[in-house]
Amino acid sequence: MHGERGICRPSQERLQERSSPMYELKFDPLLCEQCESIDCVMKCQYIDMTLEKARDERLKLARGEHSTILEECVTCYACEEYCPYNNHPFYQIVELQEKLGVHPTPKPIEESQVRMMAPRGRIESEELTEPLIDLCFFPMLRGSIRGRLFEGASVIQGSDVFCNLMFLHFARNSVIKERLPLIIDNIMSYYLTRNNIEELICFHDECYGTYTKWAPAFGIEVPFKPVHLFEYFRRRLTELRSEIKPLDISIAYQRNCSTRLIPEIEDVLNDVFDLIGARRVKRRYDYENALCCGGPMEAQQRFDLAEENQNKNVNDMKEAGVTHCVFNCPFCFFTLMEKVSKAGIMPIMISDLCHQALGE
Amino acid sequence: MSSVRERLAQIVGKSYFSDAPEERFIYSRDPGLQKPHAPDFVVMPGSVEEVQEILRLANAEKIPVVPMGGGLVLSGLTIPLRGGIVLDMKRMNRMLEVNETSRYAVVEGGASQGMLKAYLEKHHPALKHSLPDAPPIATIAGNVAIHGSGHLSQSEGGFHSEMVTGLEVVLPTGEVVKLGSCSTVPGWFSRAPLPDLVGLFLGWNGTTGIITKIGVKLFPKPRLEDVLVFMTEDIETIPDIITRVTATELAEDLTLSIAPKPDWLRGFQLTIINVVANSESEMKFRKRVIIGTLSEGAYFHNKEAGFLPLPPNMKSTFMDAPQKILSSFADVMKGGGFEYVGSIMPVEKLPEACLAGVDIAERNDVAYSLGARVIGRGHCIMFFNAYPFNRADPDNMTRAARALEDTNEVALRIGGIPWKAEYSAQQQILKQMDPNTYRLMERIKKVLDPNGIMNPGNWEVEAYGI
Amino acid sequence: MEFEDIIHRCFRCGWCKLPQNFADINCPAYLHYRFETYSPGGRLWLIRAWLNGELNMSDRFQEILFSCATCKNCVEACALPKIKDLLVDIMIAAREEVVNRGVIPSPVREYFMGIQNRGNPMKRPQAERGMWADGLEIPRFDGHDYLFYVGDVGSFDESAVLMTRAVASLLGEAGISMGILAEEEMSDGNDVKALGERGLFEYIAVNNINLFKERGVGRIITLSPHAYNTMKNDYPLLGGNFEVYHYSQVLNSSLDRIPPGNLSVTVAYHDPCYLGRWNGEYYAPRSILGKIPGMNVVEMFRTMGNALCCGGGGGNYFTDMLGSGEESASRYRIREASESGAEVLAVACPICYKMLQDAVKDEGLDDSFRVMDLAQIVLESRRR
């Protein structure tokens, strides 16, 4: 309740005082040195360099030195997908940004987000049934968990189960390292163990990416079994097959950044689209070539870049003649929904599309 | 007093007269922290003639009269310091005229902000008036009479008192007087070129007469609205930000929020820039220029400031007029109350006011929120220190009251003047005021209110030998 | 008193006086009396002062307390998210306190006595309760799909029975299997509860629940949103779990069996407080009107959550604490309806029906303006 000295300027000591857990990134600089294609930079949609320059800059990063890449990176996670050696080029960029004091977003925005999303210690044990859905820290999505699609489901959500992966956009990997072990412990001890549940269905695929890809890259163990929302949909929709009325629509899919960590999920997603009768049209900015929604760019104050990017994406959807743009990520949804609607395309979350196919 | 009682009931009708304990209880208080003083009578006039008769009676019997609009000043200006008759003006709430071409509206003295907004939305959707952030039942006349300000104050010419085009007032002695162009020609379009008598009734806390009609300027209402929120970590940068944004002349409302809660805001400042436009391209242009000017600041280069990405639901709270979320500040202490000191001060005083504000709150151990609204094109600011309190916790209420007193003192010391000042703050202001200024005020009050019946206790120097 | 620990949290900011679109004063008590004391905030401050011993429970205070129509405009409009939902509950809790101390206005006392002694507050014998159905051949409930529950006003008010007859006939035409209790029917208790007589309410409710269970009632269609509210929300807490519908909901889903005819009239729909703000049902009645060919449906400026109460709720229909006159809510509502260009005001509640019809007369509009319930409108369209 009280104000404090230095109210108008955050305490520098407090910002720097952080416990540093000993989780190290499984990154091998030798792999970068041997790499001939430098796919991480050459395939990047936002950085334009010759192969020679790309190699120079990549090697600087591999040696832990500063490169302009650190400032130019829009944090779209794509290079995690591009690297043929799974050498985690993006995670390495983020670690280096933090180490060298590069702030992708303005410091007040960065710091306030760190505070806003911190675990509040309000978690309480509950009786839960399967399927158990992890809604992460998106309370506004609670209404999506309804109907036959989620029959009998229980939900967990809140700051105390929040995966924190978003801090990759803010060059605060240390925050994830610091919080994730507590989050995992919270999930296990308050929810999974006492209810004898092993499977946790991740509504937002960023959580799934955290537990299946980011955590192992830093040597953090995940004792439960994360299930991707799309896997759950595929399972459930197959069960309810006879009740599905195919939608018969052409859609564009907005492939969010965390899909870059788990590209193998595309097959499952396409099965889901098949089941509900949604045709994922061929368009330029999909799959590996997908565009970031522009949200992180706006946070980085690069408004022209964000707009240019969003226009390219939406025009591409328009030209493909789709009626709907399907989202999995609420952040992409909020960022793009206005532009998409103005283009005459209906923005919709994938869970709502599945509800529609079931006539709900 | 019984003949007064009967006569008052006769004037307004029995159903609009009360001296019952219930009315006396409620009308002796406002939602702020000032001490209660009970009226002897509460009446609700329905016409100018009734107001005149009440004043003539009050004059004859030397009974104090206190006019009241919404009663939401929070600093107790509608609380009858010396008892007497409270006039609740809200029955006189009609919309009288809207001139679309010369853009003004004429309403009765008890007409509310909300109802004018609704009326314009329904009948004249291309026009709007400047709304304060008070609850919608606040009256237009009441707000103007205390030099209120609102969401068009930065872009459309300053305080709401500067947007008045004319008044009809009933003098303490019972005469009805028209002020402004309406006194001479049909039409409430201007105060100039006549001698500006309207000022005799603005800022006087009801000591010079009762407003029964008011003309206010209306402004074009663009189709589109949006908001930019600029976040900073150094209070010293704010005057530069205000200078830059006001210089573009492209923003509508410009406000600051500096609060220790929610936790993620502590230590940071939010500059909230509302932008309106008639087309997408105009909106884009305005935002681009505003973003452009702020990107030139060193604070932007150094990543010490930036525009906050806003999801749609957060945006709409910033674009509400009036902002409902500000009223909910009253529940911060789960106690149904807050009061604030709003000081009118030069722009460059903001950082000092902010640091002093934090200090006052800490010293008095109270919760608080700080903020400001820019008035005119950076001509001054209304800086506020708001303290929520718990009505059921007398100790907390005492500390909040002390914090308010300290704030008034500090404001004057810094070089600002508390707006709609409560009794004790008025005393501080008068103490600091040039004696000739005060003497002129006294002379005018004497002329208009020879028996001293109008809201006595206000703008009266206690003991400085004047 | 229940909620005593939060009553101090009202700021008396006055958001509660207006609807969310600020159109005009929307609290029926404040609209009529205009003193701050009669607004929701004023009332709450007075209750707190009374609990603290600063004020006595005078006649005027009782008038203030019992003039609340329980319309929930304040709940919709209040600026404080943590207490807004409880505002009307607090008014009712204060009434309970006062009722327990026996200090209540005589019209309120008479209302309770009527129900307690006769089973209805109308000063009519219960034996006449089924008379509204004369000539209509509505069966007595005997294992039908639905119990058609009529209520006090719908059974005895000489205007409202026209509505009851229309609803019952139309439901019959739609082939709905339903029966009535006639003279065995008792007050539903909603307004008893709203007026603070908790003991009497529970007595009535439990009696009703037992009777319904005994007769094998599974589903209920109510005429009045008041009965709908209490049977749906309160009865389950006393062991009465029935499927409760308001007649507009059943009518809406059976309209294909009784297709409306052409009716070229401009209609506005008046949301009853106990159906709209209390129970969130804004759609079914509008859907009915939308399905009538030729009908021009307009919305009044204060619609749905912003609707102005007819002034009959909170027991006011019976106790008349709100009085009438030009400043009454019902007359404001009729003026508003007329301004909207409507020729007919559609209602879905027998109390609204009576209050608003009287207001039409008082406004001198009987030649040009009609108040009709949804069933009467559909029936008229079918007869053309």
Cα nearest neighbour of B86 on chain C:
C35
Distances (CA, A) of C153 to A100, C121, C166, C211, C359: 78, 9, 15, 20, 17
The pTM of this model reads: 0.93
Q: How many CB atoms lie within 10 A of CB A219?
A: 11
- Tens-digit pLDDT profile for residues B288-341: 999 999 999 999 999 999 999 988 778 888 998 899 999 999 999 999 999 999
B chain contacts of residue A111, beta-carbon cutoff 8 Å:
233, 268
| A10 with B232: Cβ contact below 8 A | no
Q: Tell me the backbone φ, ψ of residue A349, rounded to 5 degrees.
A: -80, 150
Chain A residues whose CB is inside 8 A of the B234 CB are: 8-9
Question: What average pLDDT does the segment C364-377 reach?
Answer: 95
How deeply is C10 buried, as exposed, middle or buried, from its count of CB atoms within 10 A (0-12, 13-18, 19+)? buried
Backbone region of residue B203 per phi and psi (left: phi > 0; alpha: psi in -120 to 50; beta: other values) = left
- Residue count of chain A, please give it: 360
Of B267, B307, B365, Cβ closest to residue A8: B267
| CATH number of the CATH domain containing A140 | 3.40.50
The string of DSSP codes covering B304-368 is SEEEPP--HHHHHHHH-SS-HHHHGGGGTTTSEEEEEEEEEE-GGGHHHHHHHHHHHHHHHT---
Whether A121 and A223 share a structural domain: yes
User: Amino acid identity, residue A201?
Assistant: I
Q: What's residue C322's pLDDT?
A: 87
C-alpha angle C155-C159-C162 in degrees, rounded to nearest 5: 70
Name the average pLDDT for chain B: 96
**β strands within B30-159, DSSP E:** 41-43, 65-68, 85-88, 95-99, 104-108, 127-128
C124-252 and C259-383: identical CATH topology: yes
The per-residue pLDDT for B256 is 97
User: Could you tell me if residue A2 is inside a domain?
Assistant: no
Pick B135's closest partner by Cβ from C23, C46, C79.
C79
How would DSSP label each residue in A2-28?
---TTTTS--HHHHH------------
Pure H helices in A218-259 = 229-239
What per-residue confidence (pLDDT) applies to C321? Answer: 87
Burial category of C152 from C-beta neighbours within 10 Å (exposed 0-12, middle 13-18, buried 19 and up): buried
Domain that residue A338 falls in: 240-357
**How would you label B71-90 residue by residue, b for 16+ Cβ within 10 Å and e otherwise?**
bbbbbbbbbbbebbbbbbbb
Question: Using the beta-carbon criterion (under 8 Å), do B307 and A2 form an inter-chain contact?
Answer: no
pLDDT (0 to 100) of residue B67: 98
Chains C and B touch (3+ CB pairs under 8 A): yes
Q: Which of A106, A111, A299 sits opposite B305 (nearest CB)?
A: A106
Q: B367–A1: do the CB atoms touch at under 8 Å?
A: yes
- CA–CA gap between residue B323 and residue B136 (Å, rounded): 10
Q: Which residues of A touch B309 (CB under 8 A)?
A: 109, 295, 298-299, 335
d(CA A246, CA A279): 10
DSSP letter for each residue of A281-294: ---TTSGGGPPP-S
Q: Class for domain C124-252, per CATH? A: alpha beta
Residues 6+ apart with CB under 8 A from B267: A6, A7, A8, A9, A10, A11, B233
What SS3 state is found at B186?
A: coil
Span A247-266, pLDDT tens digits: 999 999 999 999 999 999 99
Q: Provide φ and ψ at B292, rounded to 5°.
A: -60, -45
Two tokens at C367?
A: 């030649």
Mutation site, B256, B258, B268, interface A, largest A CB count within 10 A? B268
C342 is written with which tokens?
């409507």
- Looking up residue A268, the CATH number of its domain turns out to be 3.40.50.1860
Which residue of C3, C8, C22 to mutate against B (max B Cβ within 10 Å)? C22
| A348, A280: one domain | yes
**Chain B residues near residue A4 by CB distance under 8 angstroms:** 260, 266, 358, 362
Asked if A219 and A247 sit in the same domain, the reply is no
Q: What whole-number distance in Å separates Cα of residue A195 and Cα of residue A129? A: 7
Q: Report which of A212, A215, A218 is spatially closest to residue A26, judged by C-alpha positions.
A: A218
Residue in this structure with the two tokens 């309770």, named with its chain if needed: C112
Residues on A contacting B at a C-beta cutoff of 8 Å: 1-11, 103, 105-109, 111-113, 115-116, 140, 295, 298-299, 301, 303, 334-335, 337-338
* A302 min Cα distance to partner chain B (Å): 10
Residue ending a domain, choose from A229, A252, A282: A229
Within 8 A by CB and 6+ apart from C187, the residues are: C115, C119, C120, C121, C151, C152, C204
Burial of B298 (0-12, 13-18, 19+ CB in 10 A): exposed
Fold of B224-321: Alpha-Beta Plaits (3.30.70)
Task: Give C197→chain B minimum CA distance, Å.
Answer: 24
Structure token digits, residue B428: 């501080």
In chain B, where are the structural domains located?
2-90, 91-220, 224-321, 325-424
- Chains touching C (3+ CB pairs < 8 Å): B
Share of chain C above pLDDT 70, in %: 100
**What pLDDT is stored for residue A3 in this prediction?**
38
Flag whether A54 is in a domain: yes
List CB contacts (< 8 A) between A106 and chain B.
231, 300, 303-306
For residue C22, the 8-state DSSP code is -
Nearest CA in chain B to C80: B328
Q: Does any CB of chain A come closer than 8 Å to the CB of residue B268?
A: yes
Q: Does B305 touch chain A (CB under 8 A)?
A: yes
Q: Does pLDDT of C378 surpass 60?
A: yes
Q: What is the CATH code of the structural domain delimited by B91-220?
A: 3.30.465.10
Q: Which two tokens stand for residue C169?
A: 């006939």
Rounded distance between C-alpha atoms, residue C185 and residue C208, angstroms? 8
β-pairing, A324-327 vs A225-228, is unpaired
Report pLDDT for C191: 97
Given the candidates 3.30.1130.10, 2.40.110.10, 3.40.109.10, 3.30.300.330, the CATH classification of the domain at B325-424 is 3.30.300.330
| Residue A6 maps to a domain | no
A-facing residues of B in 352-391 (CB < 8 A) are 354-355, 358, 361-362, 365, 367-368
Cα distance between residue B458 and residue C243, in whole Å: 63
Separation of alpha carbons C251 and A346, rounded Å: 33
Residues B236, B237, B242, B248, Cα dihedral to 10°: 160
Tens digit of each residue's pLDDT, chain A (360 residues): 333 333 433 334 433 444 445 789 999 999 999 999 999 999 999 999 999 999 999 999 999 999 999 999 999 999 999 999 999 999 999 999 999 999 999 999 999 999 999 999 999 998 999 999 999 998 888 889 999 999 999 999 999 999 999 999 999 999 999 999 999 999 999 999 999 998 999 999 899 999 999 999 999 999 999 999 999 999 999 999 999 999 999 999 999 999 999 999 999 999 999 999 999 999 999 999 999 999 999 999 999 999 999 999 999 999 999 999 999 999 999 999 999 999 999 999 999 999 999 988
- Average pLDDT of the segment spanning B3-21: 97
From chain B, pick out residues whose CB is under 8 angstroms from the CB of A105.
303, 306
Whether residue A86 is found in the same domain as residue A133:
no
Q: What is the pLDDT of residues C297-312, one digit of tens each?
A: 999 999 999 999 999 9
Q: Are C132 and C155 in contact (CB under 8 A)?
A: yes
> B231 in contact with A at a CB cutoff of 8 Å?
yes
**Percentage helix, strand, coil for chain B under 3-state DSSP, each rounded to 5:** 40, 25, 40
Q: What is the DSSP letter of A132?
A: E
Name the residue type at position B307. Answer: F
B393 touches chain A (CB under 8 A): no
Question: What CATH number matches the domain at B2-90, 3.20.20.120, 3.30.43.10, 3.50.50.60, 3.40.50.300?
Answer: 3.30.43.10
Per-residue pLDDT band for C123 (boundaries 50, 70, 90) equals confident
Residue A331's alpha-carbon distances to A205, A351, B300, B309, C299, in angstroms, are 12, 15, 25, 11, 36
| Cβ–Cβ gap C33/B15 under 8 Å | yes
> Alpha-carbon distance A164 to A178, whole Å?
10
The residues facing C328 across adjacent strands are: none
Work out the average pLDDT over B184-207: 97
Could you tell me which chain C residue has the CA closest to the CA of B325?
A: C79
Residue B168 above 70 pLDDT?
Answer: yes
Residue A340: C-alpha distances to residues A289, A316, A346, B284, C245 (Å) = 19, 11, 7, 17, 40
Residue A15 lies in a domain: no
Which pLDDT score, from 0 to 100, does residue A14 have? Answer: 39
* Chain B residues in contact with C21 (beta carbon < 8 A): 118, 121
Using CB atoms within 10 A of its CB, is residue A278 exposed (0-12), middle (13-18) or buried (19+)?
A: buried
- pLDDT recorded at residue A21: 53
Contact C237, C269 (CB under 8 A): no
pLDDT tens digits for C18-48?
Answer: 999 999 999 999 999 999 999 999 999 999 9
Q: Which chains touch A (3 or more CB pairs under 8 A)?
A: B
- CATH class of segment(s) C259-383: alpha beta
Q: How confident is the model at residue B1 (pLDDT cuts 50, 70, 90)?
A: low
Contact present, B86 and B39 (Cβ < 8 Å): yes
Domains of chain C by residue range: 7-104, 124-252, 259-383
User: What ipTM was predicted for this assembly?
Assistant: 0.96
Q: Token pair of A102, please?
A: 């590069």
- Of A208, A229, A250, which residue constitutes the final position of a domain? A229
Give C223-266 pLDDT, tens digit per residue: 999 999 999 999 999 999 999 999 999 999 999 999 999 999 99
* CA distance to partner chain B, nearest, from residue C343 (Å): 20
